[in-house]
């Protein structure tokens, strides 16, 4: 029950999707599976939120190290959740003015929009922007031309960095037209269209084969690791 | 001197990077932009469609990549509006709806007030399921998106009449920050239906090199990172910029964001090259010293 | 007081005074909004309401003046406008109420700036400001995703098919209150599987969540198997079948550069694939080919590095633009703040 039923569910769902690709008559079944899959993805968001709450509430109740930050997380979570679920500050939709709850929950000017605009957006955007600093530090400390492979990597990075800005034009614009292929901007295009395409295509083919084999192993019941432990 | 650079605190490098980006912003440094082939082919894909064509604008990104992708999204919307295409907005990223609303506000409502919601553009919002959503809309659009973001059923939206599935649209213009994004649109929508639907995309720098193997048969147009955004922005503004000039000649700053960001980009790239060279010089000097001792 | 603490205190005090001076003397960071009133009148009956926009021409067909207050609804909407627009409106009509200062958005802008600085402060060292901002974003993001999943998917696709009357009567008045039977059945299956998935949160009986997990994994594998083989395997082989002897269509002459590019591309793909083939020892011809493959991959990674740097710098530029342009008003490339 604990292992056989889920195994059967996975096999049936997986093969329904595959068959729906080849047989038009089975397409509707494939769409049904996709529709339920999409709904479960939304439930997974709820599960994620619930899990976060569970972990941090435990930390707070145990007064574990850093529980104060967990309290901040829980407060921010509950506040955002209430504001969003109760559509605080959102107006009714113009089409349905008689229904107070008909408006868009993240409408500009609503409380949920305010949290997005002034809390969510600056923090997430700045966190990713920080990588600019770390990539600079890594370039200074870790990028070493130790061998041929490293030289190729470094050389390509140089050309791309310069060729994708006006710096490339400033540095190599003096080259005559007969050597225009050596201008940084043109070298960049050659690298991307030829060398990068070759490397990326090989990686893509490798990943495709890997994905197909893992999928087949799961659908044929060879790989059951997703079922975890327990009795069958 | 050698020891100073070898043991340099990384915070000095952080400071250099901060200056390399902030000084050009404060000095408002800008450089000329010359569009390359991929930006031109992206432009042509949208421009060659007859006015009134149906374009799906899939905004699969969030604030974490808005710096690169925001200008592309702006230019896509401006280009479609200027050409008179009908725009179908949707998102596979939860925050994508905010990105859509922002562009509708700043481009369509601000500079194309004559366009009517539901007739010229519609915001279908976000749905969970990643590629599951694409798989569903390829065969049955209203099943995945039964209503728009305001809760209006698609059967009551004039521009949704006659749209059974994705293949009834003419082009996908995707702005993508990762998964799900351009790769999934190509895998689940374009590759199985090559003669029915085409796609152009704007991607982050991280994704762009991985998209090249799809060019041109599966992906005829690609805007790669902020440089791609700046090139496409220039093409669109050169052709259609006159439509968004106010009476006093003023143009909203959002139509120059891409080109403006190429200023700090240049200085920071040069700094990166200098840092790599400096790091290597220190490394080789250190090795020589070790060999001597 | 430690010397470092003293230095930081002085820096914060001076910085704070300058920021406040900038805000009060120049209005930096101030946000303005255009306020619009939306008013609707019910010209139908209570059982069959018919709402008409009080600002539209349609209202002229009805005797709006006689309609009682309980059949009217109105609310205000606000959209952000540039400080320049506010200044122009004030010049034209001092004290006007259409474009006004927005306290909530101004406070929000300051908060956003402080959050930006809190995150950036990690560059100096880990500190409570950074940790607090980090904790806030963890909670906000999880809740944000939950709210979005609820309103955008669960309500219109799941609940609208299970409790259509409730959904129609409250949040989506436009939907049908009698969905098709197969849609209801599918929604019920999804509801049951969803409930089982949430059992993962229970201390005991979590194993039942394997059923919906198996559904997700099975469907995902089925989707990916075909898509990857089609788009990333077969299509890539197809994309690699290109002429090695290229003739320029315009001049009908041999195009050496295009031919070389195509030959290099094919050779590169094959060499990389040989490198990925680990079932044969990389010796002799295979070894040398694999080495060429590594070179191609190194160039690919170099290109990826260059593009990644490019992306990160663009993100940083955007954050600094926010600080300098929207908050501090140090630059104004589009003339948004010109209020003088």
Q: Is A29 helix (H, G, I), strand (E, B) or coil?
A: helix
Check if the beta carbon of residue C139 is closer than 8 Å to that of residue C65: no
C22 touches chain A (CB under 8 A): no
In this prediction, residue A231 carries a pLDDT of: 43
Contacting residues of B for A46, CB less than 8 Å apart: none
Contact C308 B252 (CB under 8 A): no
Contact C214 A125 (CB under 8 A): no
C231 touches chain B (CB under 8 A): yes
Q: Is C308 helix (H, G, I), strand (E, B) or coil?
A: helix
**E-state strands within C165-256:** none
A10 touches chain C (CB under 8 A): yes
In this prediction, residue A229 carries a pLDDT of: 59
Contact B13 A204 (CB under 8 A): no
Rounded to whole angstroms, the Cα distance separating B198 from B194 reads 7
In this prediction, residue C340 carries a pLDDT of: 52
In this prediction, residue C46 carries a pLDDT of: 79
Confidence band for B258, pLDDT divided at 50, 70 and 90: very high
Helix axes C284-321, A148-163, angle to 10 degrees: 40
A222 touches chain C (CB under 8 A): no
**What tokens does A65 get?**
């190290």
Contact B279 A192 (CB under 8 A): no
Q: Is A93 helix (H, G, I), strand (E, B) or coil?
A: coil
In this prediction, residue B76 carries a pLDDT of: 98
Low-confidence ranges of chain C (pLDDT < 70): 1, 339-340
Does position B248 have pLDDT exceeding 80, yes or no?
no
C310 touches chain B (CB under 8 A): yes
Q: Where are the domains of chain B?
A: 2-28+262-292, 37-244
Report pLDDT digits (tens) over A35-74.
Answer: 999 999 999 999 999 999 999 999 999 999 999 999 999 9
Q: B204: exposed, middle or buried (C-beta count within 10 Å: 0-12, 13-18, 19+)?
A: buried
Q: Where are the domains of chain C?
A: 250-327
> Residue B60: which of B22, B99, B26 has the closest Cα?
B99
Confidence band for A232, pLDDT divided at 50, 70 and 90: very low
Report pLDDT digits (tens) over B10-51.
Answer: 999 999 999 999 999 999 999 999 899 999 999 999 999 999
Contacting residues of C for B261, CB less than 8 Å apart: 314, 317-318, 321
Contact B268 C313 (CB under 8 A): yes
Does position A228 have pLDDT exceeding 60, yes or no?
yes
Confidence band for B6, pLDDT divided at 50, 70 and 90: confident
Phi, psi torsion values for C139, nearest 5 degrees: -65, -45
**E-state strands within chain B:** 54-60, 86-91, 121-126, 171-176, 198-203, 221-224
Phi, psi torsion values for C297, nearest 5 degrees: -65, -35
Rounded to whole angstroms, the Cα distance separating A169 from B36 reads 13
In this prediction, residue C166 carries a pLDDT of: 94
Q: Identify the H or E element spanning C186.
A: helix C181-198
In this prediction, residue C319 carries a pLDDT of: 96
Report pLDDT digits (tens) over B88-132.
Answer: 999 999 999 999 999 999 999 999 999 999 999 999 999 999 999
How far is Cα of residue C163 from the mean position of the Cα atoms in its chain? Answer: 30
Q: Which of B67, B125, B152 sits opposite C174 (nearest CB)?
A: B152
Instruction: Domain B37-244: give its CATH code.
Output: 3.40.50
Range B64-84 average pLDDT: 96
């Amino acid at each position: 029950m604990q292992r056989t039923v889920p195994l059967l569910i996975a096999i049936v769902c997986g093969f329904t999707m595959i068959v729906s690709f080849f047989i038009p008559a089975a397409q509707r079944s494939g769409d049904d599976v996709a529709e339920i899959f999409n709904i479960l993805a939304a439930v997974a968001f709820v599960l994620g939120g619930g899990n976060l709450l569970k972990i941090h509430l435990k930390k707070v109740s145990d007064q574990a190290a850093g529980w104060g930050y967990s309290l901040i997380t829980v407060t921010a979570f509950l506040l955002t959740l209430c504001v969003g679920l109760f559509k605080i500050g959102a107006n009714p939709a113009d089409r349905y003015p008689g229904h107070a709850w008909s408006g868009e929950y993240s409408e500009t000017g609503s409380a949920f929009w305010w949290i997005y605009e002034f809390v969510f957006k600056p923090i997430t955007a700045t966190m990713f922007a920080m990588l600019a600093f770390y990539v600079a530090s890594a370039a200074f400390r870790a990028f070493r031309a130790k061998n041929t492979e490293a030289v190729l990597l470094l050389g390509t990075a140089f050309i791309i960095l310069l060729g994708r800005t006006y710096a490339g034009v400033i540095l190599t614009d003096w080259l005559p037209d007969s050597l225009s292929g050596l201008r940084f901007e043109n070298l960049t295009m050659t690298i991307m269209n030829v060398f990068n395409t070759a490397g990326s295509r090989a990686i893509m083919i490798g990943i495709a084969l890997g994905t197909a084999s893992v999928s087949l192993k799961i659908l044929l019941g060879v790989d059951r690791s997703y079922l975890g432990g327990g009795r069958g | 001197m050698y020891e100073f650079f070898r043991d340099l605190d990384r915070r000095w490098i952080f400071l250099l990077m901060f200056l390399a980006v902030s000084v050009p912003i404060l000095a408002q440094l800008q450089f000329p932009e010359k569009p390359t082939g991929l930006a031109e082919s992206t432009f042509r894909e949208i421009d060659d469609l007859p006015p009134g064509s149906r374009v799906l604008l899939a905004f699969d990104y969030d604030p974490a990549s808005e710096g690169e992708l925001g200008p592309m999204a702006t230019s896509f919307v401006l280009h479609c509006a200027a050409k008179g295409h009908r725009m179908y907005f949707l998102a596979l990223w939860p925050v994508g709806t905010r990105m859509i609303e922002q562009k509708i506000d700043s481009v369509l409502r601000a500079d194309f007030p004559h366009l009517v919601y539901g007739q010229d553009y519609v915001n279908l919002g976000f749905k969970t399921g990643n590629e599951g959503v694409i798989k569903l809309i390829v065969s049955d659009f209203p099943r995945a998106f039964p209503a728009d973001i305001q809760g209006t059923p698609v059967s009551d939206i004039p521009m949704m009449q006659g749209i059974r599935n994705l293949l009834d649209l003419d082009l996908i213009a995707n702005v993508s920050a990762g998964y799900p994004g351009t790769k999934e649109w190509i895998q689940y929508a374009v590759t199985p239906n090559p003669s029915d639907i085409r796609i152009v995309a704007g991607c982050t720098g991280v994704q762009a090199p991985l998209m090249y193997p799809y060019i041109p048969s599966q992906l005829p147009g690609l805007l790669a990172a902020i440089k791609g955004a700046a090139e496409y922005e220039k093409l669109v503004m050169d052709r259609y910029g006159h439509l968004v000039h106010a009476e006093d000649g003023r143009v909203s700053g959002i139509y120059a964001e891409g080109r403006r960001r190429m200023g700090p980009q240049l200085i920071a790239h040069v700094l990166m090259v200098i840092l790599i060279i400096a790091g290597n010089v220190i490394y080789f000097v250190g090795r020589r010293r070790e060999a001597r001792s | 007081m430690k010397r470092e603490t003293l230095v930081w205190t002085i820096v914060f005090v001076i910085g704070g005074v300058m920021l406040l001076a900038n805000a009060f003397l120049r209005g930096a960071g101030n946000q303005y909004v255009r306020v619009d009133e939306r008013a609707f009148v019910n010209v139908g009956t209570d059982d069959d309401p018919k709402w008409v926009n009080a600002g539209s021409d349609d209202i002229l067909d009805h005797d709006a003046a006689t309609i009682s207050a309980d059949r009217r609804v109105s609310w205000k909407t606000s959209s952000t406008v540039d400080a320049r627009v506010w200044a122009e409106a004030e010049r034209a009509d001092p004290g006007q109420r259409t474009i006004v200062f927005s306290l909530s958005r101004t406070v929000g802008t300051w908060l956003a700036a402080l959050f930006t600085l809190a995150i950036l402060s990690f560059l100096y060292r880990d500190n409570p400001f950074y940790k607090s901002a980090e904790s806030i974003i963890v909670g906000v993001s999880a809740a944000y995703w939950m709210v979005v999943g609820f309103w955008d998917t669960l309500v219109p696709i799941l609940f609208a098919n299970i409790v259509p009357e409730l959904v129609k009567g409250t949040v989506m008045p436009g939907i049908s209150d009698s969905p098709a039977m197969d849609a209801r059945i599918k929604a019920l299956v999804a509801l049951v599987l969803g409930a089982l998935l949430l059992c993962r949160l229970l201390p005991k009986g979590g194993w039942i969540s394997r059923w919906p997990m198996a559904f997700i994994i099975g469907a995902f594998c089925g989707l990916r198997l075909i898509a990857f083989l089609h788009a990333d395997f077969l299509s890539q082989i197809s994309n690699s079948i290109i002429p090695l002897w290229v003739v320029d269509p315009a001049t009908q002459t041999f195009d050496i550069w295009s031919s070389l590019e195509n030959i290099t591309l094919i050779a590169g793909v094959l060499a990389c694939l040989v490198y990925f083939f680990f079932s044969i020892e990389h010796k002799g011809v295979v070894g040398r080919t694999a080495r060429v493959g590594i070179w191609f991959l190194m160039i690919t990674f170099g290109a990826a590095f260059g593009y990644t740097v490019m992306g990160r710098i663009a993100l940083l530029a955007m954050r600094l633009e926010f600080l300098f342009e929207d908050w501090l008003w140090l630059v104004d490339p589009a003339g948004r703040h010109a209020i003088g």
